[in-house]
Amino acid sequence: MDTDFKKPLAETWKSFNPSSLERGPTDLNHEERHRDFMRQALELARLGVGLAAPNPYVGALVVDPNGKILGSGFHTYERIKHAKVIALEQAQGKGASLKEATLYLNLEPCCHQGRTGPCTEAITASGVKRVVTAMRDPKPQA
């Protein structure tokens, strides 16, 4: 994925291909696998630079037990669905069962009603087996 920040964002977005993120780390141990997918979530979050303000940059991946990426998303504009919801809807749109899936996020999901609904409700409703986050939300009530 091209993350050259000197390039206009429109060019970066046009060249973005979620399947390019799919690395299929089946030979990696559990911890390395988490790190690899978290790195990819962070790469997605960087795509929101300059677009997500005043919200934080968030990237999300839905991954099946075999390491296949079922959905991906990043937060772009205020009042638009959050990265987690975009990734979950993408995975569900493919007809994928999320019962054994893992959701990777670089930021803890919001649990309050703001301009959008709480992401925690969408995550719970999706039925994903586990959620892996890089950090707690520094402004949980924001």
3-class DSSP assignment, residue 44: helix
pTM assigned to the model: 0.75
Q: Which residues are CB-contacts of 38 (< 8 A; sequence separation ≥ 6)?
A: 104, 106, 132, 134
24 DSSP assignment: -
Q: How many CB atoms sit inside 10 A of residue 15's CB?
A: 12
Average pLDDT over residues 69-84: 86
pLDDT tens digit sequence for 31-73: 888 899 999 999 999 998 888 777 788 999 999 999 999 999 9
State the pLDDT at residue 68: 94
Q: How, if at all, do strands 102-105 and 59-63 pair?
A: antiparallel
